[in-house]
Structure 1
Amino acid sequence: MEALVPAGLHIVTKRRPGKTLIHYVYAWRGGPLIHRAEGPRPRVTAAITDAAAEARAAGRTDGPQSPTIMNLIKSFCAAPEFTKLARSTQTSHNTWLKRIEERFGDAPLSVFEDRRVRADIMDWRDQWSDKPRSADAAMQTFTRLLSWGYDRGKLRENVAKGIGQLYDNNRSDVIWEADDFEKVAAVASVEVNEGVALAAFTGLRRGDLVKLPWAAIGEHAIVWKTNKSRGRNLATVPLLPETKALLARIKERHAAEMAKLEPDKRRPLPETVLSNSRWQPWSPTGFGSRFDDAKKAAGIDKHLHDLRGTFVTRCCIAGLNDREIADIVGWDTKDVAAIRAKYADQARVVVAIGERLARAAIA
């Protein structure tokens, strides 16, 4: 009779409600995947024994001081390619680097030069398959780590390169309709409504939206170094007529509310265009949380990010071409063209019909 898989090998059992168990056998904890079986716990076979021996031999070729994934992570975190990233990006990567270390930390780097380990990496990613965005974030960090190792000559290849994303939901052609704005306006605070309107008129992402300073507002455009890549990306957004009107209303409201306070309680307004009810700049998570509350109360299934598509339609109607708009929002021209065909050109047709009917009525 075959014996159970001996000590030294590492087995991970994946349980799926109503489905057969899946067992993953690794050469050692943190080592490469050498066997996969469904049903009962796997037993020793010649194939498993040979695969384990081969993997361990490969690990020993690097000697007792063989560099590991843990070493690679430490070197990566100290490198300028990591330290110069935006703080929010570092925080996101650190979350996944910690999980990579927990799972693969002791594995020799030589293991990650064998393409068979791709299955091991994908099995690790699939722990979050019920949350595709999280799974993709995990892979983005893993791929970036191995890519850095390849560029620095620590790896002969990046075995994670080309592993596809699980989240596939292109919402570039989703926009807010007038009814969506009305529903949110009815339940959201004035501060949240100002943020929603500013997003629709500028196309800025949430992190940039809440940090947009008044100093960046020019006569004809917003020109500002955003928080992407530590300010290396320059945002240039044309000021549409409705954007100028919104900014004027925000200033008027600020001045009016401050005038109501006793002189000794008045204070300078925040440097950012948007502020919360305490006259403090929003944090990205703070604004996002209040927006989500309003969206749920309004009963709409639209994202804050969808306001970028709304801004694109406004730019189309204002007369900008696809390339100009793509450069502003960082999209592909085909995505801009899709919105133009679906919404903007449609809107022009409706306006033109209305104008013809009005002329006919006058005649």
Structure 2
Amino acid sequence: MAVGSSDYIQAFGEASKPRRLRAQSDPVMASSTRAVIERYRKSIHFQKLAARTQADYVKYLNAFDAEFGVDPIKLFEEKASLSEIRSWKEQWVHSPKSYDYATSVVTRLLNWARDEDVAIAIHHHLNVPRIYKSDRSEIIWLPEELAALVRVATEREARIIIAASEGGLTPQDIGILTRDNVQKTPKGRRLLFKRTKTSKATSIPVTPALAKLIDETPRGQKYLFVSLQGKQLEAVRASDIVRKVKERANAAAAKDPKLIHVRDELRLYDMRGTAATELLRAGCSLNEIAVTMGWGLRHAANIIEKYAAIVPEVADEVLAKLLEARSRSDEGR
């Protein structure tokens, strides 16, 4: 190609265009970020994710596609791309949790592009510090606060509250249970299911309170716990129901000083900690608590260590053992 020829001038013009404009001429090329995102969404690594997780990922993948879809995936081999990704994530600056979720999804996508799709040799979006930090392990419902909710709840609202506090069910899991999840055990019954978030098998003993809910479920009703309209209960709706019941309970308490005020920071998910604390109070082993809550042993150990510090019976048990030991010591003198 001769210098100064029309072909040379055209090629030079193309090469001089910004990266974004060059890629726009062929947005579906195999090396575009959009094409890689599409391949990732069709891969086994994406398909094996839980349906809820897939839906969450798609939100951020679509946003990433809108920003970088026409760019070549090779863009992310350059360290300077970190600043572009950071600028893109600023649309969630108001929500540290969403900001961190975007970080996780991009890292997962680029890891797959490097290791499985081999579309890039390296990327630099690794070990990105997280912004959101939340530790609600010390926030649990008191028995009198749960009673305050049930006192003002309708039948369907009360069923949700009792299921969450008795079984430690998450907002995502309450609405998926059917009679098929109820199994007989040698001495009773259990709820056996896979958690929506982690797909971990979870076995919850059917307490008398849960048994009453199960046995009172209308025969023609598919799900054990439904929305106020009788439809499948969604996680957001379950949390919203508890929030509104709490508002009603506190409105009643404002008029009657004999009634208890439910702490404002409490939410449905915190009932999970309440259930785990009850297991600890009952003397259940670490393995028993892990299986019941659908946790790994290491995670269960970390959580229970925090719960143990706020369970008052633990202090009483320590004192009783201490006094007993001193009594034996005095007798031996």
Scaled by the length of structure 2, what TM-score is found? 0.73
Q: Is the 8 A contact 1:214 1:272 kept in 2?
A: yes
Residue 217 (structure 1) aligns with: 182
Equivalent residue for 1:250, pick from 213, 218, 224:
213
Contact 1:93/1:141 (8 A) holds in 2: yes
Structure 1 stretches lacking a partner, 5+ long: 1-7, 9-26, 32-55, 256-267, 353-363
Superposed counterparts of 1:152-301, under 5 Å: 152=116, 153-218=118-183, 219-228=188-197, 233-237=200-204, 239=205, 243-251=206-214, 253-254=216-217, 268-299=219-250, 300-301=264-265
Output the amino acid matched with 1:310: T
**Structure 1 332/158 Cα, relative in aligned 2: closer, same or farther at 3 Å?**
farther
Deviation at 1:280, TM superposition (A): 3.9
The one of 240, 261, 272 equivalent to 1:308 is 272
Question: Could you tell me how far apart the structure 2 residues matched to 1:168 and 1:214 are?
Answer: 37
Per-residue Cα deviation, 1:71-130 (whole angstroms, up to 9, x for no partner) = 111111121222332222222111111110111112222221122322221222122121
Partner SS for 1:235: strand
- Give the % identical residues: 23
How many Å apart are 1:28 and its aligned residue? 4.4
Matches of residues 19-168 of structure 1 in structure 2 within 5 Å?
A: 28=18, 67-152=31-116, 153-168=118-133
Alpha-carbon distance in structure 2 between the residues aligned to 1:225 and 1:184:
28
CA drift of 1:316 comes to: 0.5
How far off its partner does 1:30 sit?
A: 5.3
Q: CA deviation at 1:314?
A: 0.7
Contact kept? 2:242, 2:267, Cα under 8 Å: no
Matches within 5 A, 1:326-345: 326-329=290-293, 330=295, 331-343=299-311, 345=313
Q: What's the Cα RMSD here?
A: 3.1
The more displaced of 208-217 and 276-285 is 276-285
Higher mean C-alpha displacement, 115-124 vs 243-252: 243-252
- Superposed displacement of residue 222, structure 1: 2.3
**Partner Cα distance (1:29, 1:296) in 2:** 54
SS at structure 2 position matched to 1:304: coil
Mapped partners of 1:98, 1:276: distance in 2: 30
User: How big is the shift at 1:309?
Assistant: 0.9
Taking structure 1 as reference, are residues 305 and 216 closer, same or farther at Cα in structure 2, changes over 3 Å only?
Answer: same
Distance 1:249 1:221 in 2: 13
1:231-283: per-residue Cα shift (whole Å, max 9, x none)? x532122x1xxx5211233246546xxxxxxxxxxxx3323321344544423
Aligned AA for 2:239?
G
Provide structure 2 residue ranges, at least 5 long, that are not aligned to the other structure.
1-12, 251-263, 321-333
Whole-Å separation in 2 of the counterparts to 1:298 and 1:151: 53
* RCO higher in structure (CA 8 A, sep ≥6): 2
Q: Give the AA of the match of 2:210.
A: L
1:114-147 Cα offsets, whole Å, 9 max, x none, are 2232222122212212111211222222112112
Partners of 2:29 and 2:179 in 1: CA distance: 55
Q: 1:180 to 1:159 in 2, by over 3 A?
A: farther
Distance of aligned partners of 1:283 and 1:66 in 2 relative to their CA distance in 1, 3 Å threshold: closer
Aligned length: 280
What is the one-letter code of the residue matched to 1:289?
Answer: D
TM-score scaled by structure 1? 0.68
